[in-house]
Amino acid sequence: MELTREQQDMLEGKCGEGAAIAMKIQVAIGESFNAERMMPITRAHVALSNQEADLWFAERLLKAGAFCKIAPTVNPGFCLSYFKNAGMVDDKYADLMQRTHDAYKGLGAVLSYDCTPYLGTNIPYYGEVVAFSESSATPFVNSVWGARSNREAAQSALCAAITGYVPEYGLLLDENRRGDILVEVQADMKSDFEYQLLGYMGKKIGNGIPVFTGLSKPITLESFMNLGAQLNTSGAYGMYHVVGVTPEAQTLEQAFGGKEPKRKVVITNEDLENILQEISEVGNRKVDFAMFGCPHFTLNQVQEIAEMVKGKKLAAEMWILTSSHTKEMAERMGLSSIIQEAGGIIVEDTCPDQPCWGHLNGKFGVTESPKCAYYPKRRGMSFIIRDLRTCVEAALKGEVI
């Protein structure tokens, strides 16, 4: 790779050991993808994790004197003050979360603890070169905002935030942003929920950049958020196009860059019904809890729940996970009190795949997110997946009918 004087100095340790480690990793990534040079970035999002290996990496960089040139927003772990005060988390995990907080604070990150930064705190503009990790974040910034990011790992995004550069390869280049697979959606996309199921069709869609047709406008931000999150739960996708909607796909020809699609796939109502049956526990049973906010819930979604539970009492626990910004807005707007009076809890900075959910081990829940049902399985939680309205009704009755 050809490096500028500044990048070469960083690599040689003239800007400190921390920057040198980060640059060394990025040059190795760049060389393995045949990148010719580095590109400056203006934003980053790190899918931080409070697990030991990820924390080791962040602390290693911190001890080596690294500091982020571009302050990245970060993913959720769990809300330390809430779960510690509630006695819901062991000291060992509380300590890991505290150390994660301290490490990222020391590195100069924006401690947002939110996995949907592209909707509020970290929104790139069209064509901006950025380094975003996190399943729903990378496809959203590429596909909806038209920014340019590779599908970064938490570690490579952190290195990019430290050096201020990314190797130029993959989705940073025009020729790699064109569509590969034509996905004709014949299914009825009635609500944001169908986009969760469409996203979970990764096995049928296959590898490459999907170009969706047949999706009628308007498509909500929540639908795009769901689509990206589930595409990266059922497969690995840095970007997609929706013809006539996303900025680089105003026409089918533009989406494919004038080339023929490598594959054609049709998605029907039956496909969505089948995938739901495959990934959801069987319904018609009592449920212990409802969990929403994977990815973190938007204010619209919190509002929808508040309207449904107003003046009622929940028969099952209800957890709504969101960003601290959305939680604050929900409090100001009186939505939090409505949900709390019904018996629900809105908690910020928290993800379902965390050690703070020990009391739900062995329990049955409802969620509208296949991703929420997928990862916490290893923590002993089982989920029935339904649309949001059905899930809220189930939490009110204590059972899915």
Residues in contact with ligand F3S by the rule CB under 6 A = 75-76, 115, 136, 229, 294-296, 321, 351-353, 371, 375
The phi, psi pair for 362, rounded to 5°, reads 85, 0
The phi, psi pair for 167, rounded to 5°, reads -65, 140
User: Is there a contact between 139 and 240 (Cβ–Cβ < 8 Å)?
Assistant: yes
Between 115 and 172, whose beta carbon lies closer to ligand F3S?
115
Between 83 and 256, whose beta carbon lies closer to ligand F3S?
83
- Tokens representing 176 are 């790699």
Between 149 and 163, whose beta carbon lies closer to ligand F3S?
149
Strand order in the sheet with 241-242: 241-242, 210-213, 181-185, 263-267
Of 370, 173, 197, 337, nearest in space to 267 by CA: 197
Between 10 and 227, whose beta carbon lies closer to ligand F3S?
227
Nearest distance in Å: CB 136, ligand F3S: 6
Nearest distance in Å: CB 195, ligand F3S: 14
Nearest distance in Å: CB 100, ligand F3S: 13
Nearest distance in Å: CB 43, ligand F3S: 18
The phi, psi pair for 61, rounded to 5°, reads -65, -40
The residue whose two tokens read 């469409």 is: 198
The phi, psi pair for 266, rounded to 5°, reads -115, 135
Nearest distance in Å: CB 296, ligand F3S: 6
Between 75 and 156, whose beta carbon lies closer to ligand F3S?
75
Between 113 and 165, whose beta carbon lies closer to ligand F3S?
113
Strands 285-286 and 399-400: antiparallel
Nearest distance in Å: CB 363, ligand F3S: 18
Nearest distance in Å: CB 357, ligand F3S: 12
